[in-house]
Amino acid sequence: MFELLIDLLGRTLRRMLPAVFLLPLLAAAQPVPEYELKAAFVYNFALFTDWPTDTAYEGGTLNICINPGSVLRQSLAGLGEKTVKGRRVSVRHLAALDSLRACHVLFVDNSDRERWVQIKKGLGGATVLTISDDEEIGHDGSIIALAVDNNRIVFDVDTRAARSARLMLSSKLLRLARTVQ
Amino acid sequence: MDLAALPIEQLLTLEVYSASRFVQKLSEAPSVVSVVTAADIKAFGWRTVADILGSMRGLYVSNDRNYAYLGARGFLRPGDYNTRFLLLVDGNRNNDGVYDQASLGTEFVLDVDLIERVEFVPGPGSSIYGANAFFGVINIITKKGRDLSGPQVSVEAGSHGMRKARASYGMRHDTGVEWLLSASTYREDGQDLYFPEFDTPATNNGIAHRKDHDRAQNLLMKASAGSWSVSVAHSERKKGIPTASFSQVFNDPRSHTVDTQSFVDAAHRSKIAPDAELSTRIFWGRYDYRGDYVYDYPPLTVNRDGSRASWWGAETKLVTTRIHGHKLVMGAEAQRDYRRRQFNFDIDPYLSRLDDQRSGSRFGLYLQDEFTLRRDLLLNAGARYDRNSSTGDSSVNPRVALIHKAGDATTFKAMVGTAFRAPNAYELYYDLRSEGGQKSNPALKAERIRTQELSAEHYFSTDARITASVFRNTVSDLITQTLDPSDGLLVFRNLDRARARGIEFELETAWNGGTRLRSSYSWQQAKDGTTGATLANSPRHLAKFNLSAPLPHIGWRAGAEAQYVGRRNTLRAETAGHWVGNLTLSAMRLAPGLELSASVYNLFDRRYAHPGAAEHAQDAIVQNGRTGRIKLIYAF
């Protein structure tokens, strides 16, 4: 019975093939590249975050830091011409951890797995918005965790981590999050 | 489109396609690892693990139309059932308990659609994994419930009456519970094959009519909750033997093999301290093989050869970074092979020729330290002690790697190590003393390999990497089948020595638009240590070329693949070098949830052959010409 079904499907498939090649022309709303979209989320998170008034802005820029080995690096670099609350965004490569505290936003993913424990130690309550995109790092101390669910990007927020970094996340962000702890 | 300019509410509604990932290598690993992801498997239309591995640097695949065989760095012993590779499925050992076979063709336990990632770790892996991690470790990581997020069905149809269907369901709940269920069925009628070795009127003029059939069923269940996870898998594969291997009667429809495997694997992973993780697993597995071989004694008789292997075991592993500058990995593993049965009998009239029941156990203990000597210098040293009850052998296998990071972009590695393979139950105990038969040799000991390797890896940019590696392998006490002149019986002995050396280059590049290139060339020379002759099935040159790129405007992706395998010695003559090209076009999203792909294998219809083994009358076995496949996946 099952065999018959596959057989039928196979035959239909072969007949349908020419028609199938025309289908993409009809399909609506093409999917967008994952990394570009994640980078857009990172920018939006910065827009909806308030840093404490005593935050230092060396050179007046809002610094978004990323591991030079991260797959998101190129996409994130595209944010370089944007502004957040009047401050120009500067995307910085965080190769060594000594410049950690100059970051306002820190994006981490699987390229940071090995050094995540060190990063957490190095941050120690600094006013840095940590955004993770890695299931292993996940909620382990980062403020926002990105994930892909059913081909769409979702995010989870850890308000405790945000409080200890003295960051205020807008209520809109909390409303749109998949989960808030 | 500038996505960052869109409001966040709209961003949440957009559907993504995952970029063909430029996988970051574990540059700290004591090996030069190759990685293939689910996106690559899709883009290139790979159907088996053998297809996947065949695209990797330094590897090549043979197929005798019964099983698939893997070669690495110039070694592919004819007649070896991949015993010199350790196959891990989610960290669980998959080599069976009688032959130590790694199943890589359609006999592999899982549907390749359920593979998230395949890693090949070349070099001696015994310092962590023990036996069989001789030329390398194949690590298969399966998909999780979240990778499906709902029901999914897939149907395929292809040349030679191939059809396949799969139904899967995967889910992750808000509670953290995650599970996956999948069942597949595959069938291929196969083509009629012509073998000139049997071209006589009495043997159907050399045509094996409808003998290359293949069918398989696979089942996988996975569940995880919190730190616990369980997987259960089962598969059954029946393959017709068109080659009349092992001196069978040609073109008899009864000649076939059946491979059945199952495993249950339960694991627990917990962080016992912020800087220490403990994982423990218990596992059970079985592998049953049965082959019907047809002989004209006379009378025409079906002889059934088979094995039943069952085992269970436990493993525990601790990873800690507690000591500053050290990453320690330590573990223990024990396995009890409570059934290692081999049998052979004629069905009618019934005559038992072999019924051998054994059991055995293995135990291993290992420690590895990744020691940061300097900011730019890492020492990775480890060793494992193994004890195997069937030979009474114990062995210690070390591996040491010195890893130097010359700046952010360049890494140099120097690696030395040893590995071993204990003789399997087949080599030790298979005993069939008829004329031209085989006798057991319980005195066999393990074979060994010593490896030295130097590698350099350089990033031109984050998305462009070149890797170069030179290696030398020295193998001793190779377990070899030979003829005992005193009684004319075949027997396995620790006879041969072999040496191999070579050099490999690989270039990987990814562009922003999603185009990705992976290309490699390797040169190797593997020689018999006694005679100095080049080994059989050992190509001097290998080249791989894999390009996948989105096609503008229509949202499709093209995956083009080309592979070159150089001239190889066979047991009696040689096979010519050959190029094979494959092309896959895939539409990631024809309609919401609907994916289509169309593949053509051996695009230019090149005629090529793989070397046969001693059990084949064919010195070389001709492979398929141009074939095609269409596949539809629908996610609800």
Indicate if the pLDDT at residue A19 is higher than 70.
Answer: no
Checking phi first, is residue B467 left (phi over 0); if not, alpha (psi -120 to 50) or beta?
beta
Tell me which residue in A10, A71, A73 faces B21 most closely, judged by beta carbons: A71
Indicate if the pLDDT at residue A4 is higher than 80.
Answer: no
Determine which of A97-106, B35-44, B181-190, B508-517 has the lowest per-residue pLDDT on average: B508-517
CB contact under 8 A, A40 and B4: yes
CATH number at residue A88: 3.40.50.2300
Residue A7 lies in a domain: no
Residue A133 lies in a domain: yes
Query: Which of these, B522, B623, B507, B533, lies nearest to B566 by C-alpha position?
Result: B522
CB contact under 8 A, A10 and B16: no
Determine which of A6-20, B290-304, B450-464, B595-609 has the lowest per-residue pLDDT on average: A6-20
Residue A20 lies in a domain: no
CB contact under 8 A, A172 and B630: no
Residue A151's pLDDT band, with cuts at 50, 70 and 90, is confident
Contacts of A69 in chain B (CB under 8 A): 24, 462
Percent of chain B residues past pLDDT 70, beyond the cut: 97
The tokens for A56 are 């230092």
Contacts of B164 in chain A (CB under 8 A): 6
Indicate if the pLDDT at residue A78 is higher than 90.
Answer: no
What pLDDT was estimated at residue A124? 82
Indicate if the pLDDT at residue B107 is higher than 90.
Answer: yes
CB burial of residue B570 (10 Å; 0-12, 13-18, 19+): buried
Query: Which of these, B246, B258, B313, lies nearest to B288 by C-alpha position?
Result: B258
Indicate if the pLDDT at residue B73 is higher than 60.
Answer: yes
What pLDDT was estimated at residue B147? 84
Residue A36 lies in a domain: yes
CATH number at residue B577: 2.40.170.20
Determine which of A14-18, A135-139, B365-369, B555-559 has the lowest per-residue pLDDT on average: A14-18
pLDDT tens, position by position, A42-70: 999 999 999 998 888 888 899 999 988 78
A98 and B CB contact within 8 Å: no
**What total of structural domains would you count in chain A?**
1
Contacts of A74 in chain B (CB under 8 A): 462-463, 512
- Name the residue with tokens 């099983």: B67
What pLDDT was estimated at residue A5? 52
Give the three-class secondary structure for B57.
Answer: coil
| Residue B220 to residue B198: CA distance in whole angstroms | 41
What pLDDT was estimated at residue A32? 76
Residue A22 lies in a domain: no
Q: Alpha-carbon torsion B100, B105, B106, B112, what sign?
A: positive
Domain range for residue B460?
3-635
Indicate if the pLDDT at residue B364 is higher than 90.
Answer: yes
Determine which of B70-79, B108-117, B352-361, B478-487 has the lowest per-residue pLDDT on average: B478-487
What pLDDT was estimated at residue A12? 53
Indicate if the pLDDT at residue A10 is higher than 60.
Answer: no
Indicate if the pLDDT at residue B24 is higher than 70.
Answer: no
Contacts of A68 in chain B (CB under 8 A): 408, 462
Residue A1 lies in a domain: no
Residue B19's pLDDT band, with cuts at 50, 70 and 90, is very low
Residue A17 lies in a domain: no
Average pLDDT, chain B: 91
pLDDT tens, position by position, B197-218: 999 999 999 999 999 999 999 9
Domain range for residue A35?
30-180
Residue A114 lies in a domain: yes
Indicate if the pLDDT at residue B418 is higher than 50.
Answer: yes
What pLDDT was estimated at residue B20? 42
Indicate if the pLDDT at residue B599 is higher than 80.
Answer: yes
Determine which of A117-121, B24-28, B304-308, B417-421 has the lowest per-residue pLDDT on average: B24-28
What pLDDT was estimated at residue B205? 95
Query: Which of these, B1, B22, B116, B515, lies nearest to A37 by C-alpha position?
Result: B1
A173 and B CB contact within 8 Å: yes
